[in-house]
Structure 1
């Protein structure tokens, strides 16, 4: 099931929908607005012109009340064991430097989220760019992005453990994306099965060894032989 089809099945009134780079498409943004919701979409090189406009707008990121455009800023810090992390977010409602901004429905906010991780004396900085149809402060945007990633990371972790997704070297054409969709479909079937208390990896192996269990998972009846 693609993102537009999934959105059709959901009640989204007054929700803020966060989607990673794959969902940064005008058709998906249109669909979200039509469902009476707002979007917060990650922007990367798949939307290079849009990304360049956000970078240009937020290139001078020092938040000063008198600067134009006005830029809101939020920073939070935290540590986990021996890793220290600083998260910074800048938002603005100025869209004048965005080429073809009007093609994004109800676009109101652009954002830059910067994460600095310090570990064993080394510092790594990652910057991500976003667009939103909601009027988001830097604090609200930062919170929404943080709530999105644990869900995303959890899914990737499960796919890697149960399906060894990171070891897959299939790259040609659309094969990598097709296999990813199939893995997620299989993962959902395994999670829904309550007939055994095995872990996902063992359930997958059982489905490979047992035709009866596989038929049970996908909801079909095997013919009598």
Structure 2
């Protein structure tokens, strides 16, 4: 018999119910993925900004815990994933880029990650504000990337 739990969240234009069903991993699953303990299905359904949504995600985990804790873990994982993808999609407009060359796509993805990480290492958490601040500040951008101006030379005369 699977374990089950649900949680409803109403905020920021969303009314979503998350339902987790979990069961012990079968012998076959454990053979395929050693260390597996639990099979999980998380269904999120409801409304986002007035539009209906219904998604199911499935996981295999080594965690041996109750349904409530498993649901918390699954939601935290997607919260992290969604915040990373939001940064790529909104401020950096990754989805609007039409570059088709394979190496170019990989290079641009690496540069976007570099930009995000450099801003965050500098304490700038709003990527939109960081881009706006540094867009016309070449010295600030170079400083962020680790470049330091050479010390002024002293001339004796």
TM-score over 0.5 for the alignment? Answer: yes
Flag the structure with higher strand content.
2
Matched, 1:191 2:105: no
Contact persistence 2:13–2:50 (CA under 8 A): no
1:73–1:89 contact (8 Å) kept in structure 2 = yes
Q: 1:85 aligns with which of 12, 16, 23?
A: 16
Q: 1:113–1:128: 8 Å Cα contact kept in structure 2?
A: yes
Q: What SS does the aligned partner of 1:215 have? A: helix
Q: Does 1:146 align with 2:80?
A: no
- Supply the distance in 2 between the matched residues of 1:122 and 1:187 (Cα, whole angstroms): 31
Q: Unaligned regions of 5+ residues in structure 2, if any?
A: 153-157
- Corresponding residue for 1:205? 135
Contact 2:134-2:140 at 8 Å conserved across structures: no
Equivalences for residues 49-198 of structure 1 within 5 A: 70-80=1-11, 83-98=14-29, 101-118=30-47, 123-173=52-102, 175-193=104-122
Q: 1:174 Cα deviation (Å)? A: 5.5
**Can you list the C-alpha shifts for 1:121-172, whole angstroms capped at 9, x where unaligned?**
7632101011111113322111111122233222222333432222122344
- What's the secondary structure of 1:163's corresponding residue? coil
Uncovered stretches (5+) of structure 1, i.e. residues with no partner: 1-69
CA RMSD of aligned residues (A): 3.1
Q: TM-score, normalised by structure 1?
A: 0.55
Q: Aligned partners of 1:112 and 1:89: how far apart in 2?
A: 6
Q: Is the 8 A contact 1:191 1:200 kept in 2?
A: no
Equivalent pair of 1:162/1:200 in contact (CA under 8 Å): no
Pick the structure with greater CA Rg: 2
CA-CA distance at 1:115 after TM superposition: 0.5
